[in-house]
Amino acid sequence: MNWIQLESIQQLQDIKNAPGYSIIFKHSTRCSISMMARKRFELDEDAIPEGTPLYFLDLIRHRDVSGAVADIFNVDHESPQLLLLKDGICIYHASHGEISGELASAHIS
């Protein structure tokens, strides 16, 4: 999977202003559930339309960015968490065992 490391609040603002679809995956490197969710999502890589930006947020290293995700995209903080954005608006989000590339791609028209 070709992850784009999400490391700054400025990147979140850029994502918020970007046209089209984007995916943010919030991951805790200290959580086995988060590791399993990441592996399951990565196994669904073929379900994600080619060219969809995939952002990876290590929320342990970037707590400020993780908190800003909740504020900017109007979602509750969860970990692990996947957000599907369209034109800067969160149209789908999932956490824990509900994270799936297939489910996320089902919301992409």
> What is the tens place of the pLDDT at every residue in 40-68?
999 999 999 999 999 999 999 999 999 99
> What is the tens place of the pLDDT at every residue in 1-51?
899 999 999 999 999 999 999 999 999 989 999 999 999 999 999 999 999
Residue 56 has a pLDDT of 97
Q: What does pTM read for this prediction?
A: 0.94
Q: How far apart are the first and last CA of the chain?
A: 21
DSSP element (H, E) containing 43:
helix 32-43
How many other β-carbons are positioned within 10 Å of the β-carbon of residue 31?
A: 16
> What is the tens place of the pLDDT at every residue in 70-105?
999 999 999 999 999 999 999 999 999 899 888 888
